[in-house]
């Protein structure tokens, strides 16, 4: 069966329109990144400071910490797992909210670009409770 030029153009237009409609979805899927794209996974730091804010939002919660260093205060931003992950392990927004204005210790890896930005891997809350957000690799036994 031979298709007319008109039918081919209509199908081509439909195909292009469909592709353009799907483009935003594919960009959103690619935009989500692995932590190693932004953070130096080998450069771990631990810091204690005042928890000033918790943003319990997708795709990752964000906490802000004021850290005293050499007589000055540095404001740090830490990204972490998504809220659904915290809920699955029994941690709620309220657990963090209770710690606002108090001293917490955060262990993280820091941004490759040297900014005051990290990926939180462990947090020690004022009541002493500890949340490990990543599993340590198992060491080989000989």
Per-residue pLDDT of 73-94, as tens digits, reads 999 999 999 999 989 988 888 9
Per-residue pLDDT of 34-54, as tens digits, reads 777 889 999 999 999 999 999
Local structure of 56: helix, strand or coil: coil
What residues does 75 pair with on adjacent strands? 66
Nearest Cα neighbor of 96 from 134, 55, 59, 135 is 55
107 in Cβ contact with 44 (< 8 Å): yes
136 vs 60: which has the higher pLDDT: 60
User: For residue 28, what pLDDT band results from cuts at 50, 70 and 90?
Assistant: very low
Would you say how long the chain is, in residues?
Answer: 142
Residue with tokens 């809220």: 83
pLDDT at residue 4 in the model: 74
What residues does 124 pair with on adjacent strands? 105, 130
């Amino acid at each position: 069966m031979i298709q007319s030029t008109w039918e081919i153009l209509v199908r081509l237009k439909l195909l292009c329109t469909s592709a353009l409609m799907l483009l935003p979805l594919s960009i959103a899927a690619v935009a989500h990144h692995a932590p190693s794209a932004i953070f130096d996974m080998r450069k771990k730091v631990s810091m204690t400071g005042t928890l000033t804010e918790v943003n319990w939002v997708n795709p990752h919660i964000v906490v802000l910490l004021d850290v005293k260093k050499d007589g000055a205060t540095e404001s740090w931003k830490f990204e972490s797992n998504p809220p659904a992950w915290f809920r699955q392990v029994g941690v709620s927004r309220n657990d963090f909210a209770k710690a606002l204005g108090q001293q917490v210790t955060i262990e993280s890896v820091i941004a490759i670009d040297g900014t005051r930005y990290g990926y939180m891997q462990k947090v020690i809350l004022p009541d002493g409770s500890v949340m490990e957000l990543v599993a340590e690799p198992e060491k080989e036994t000989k």
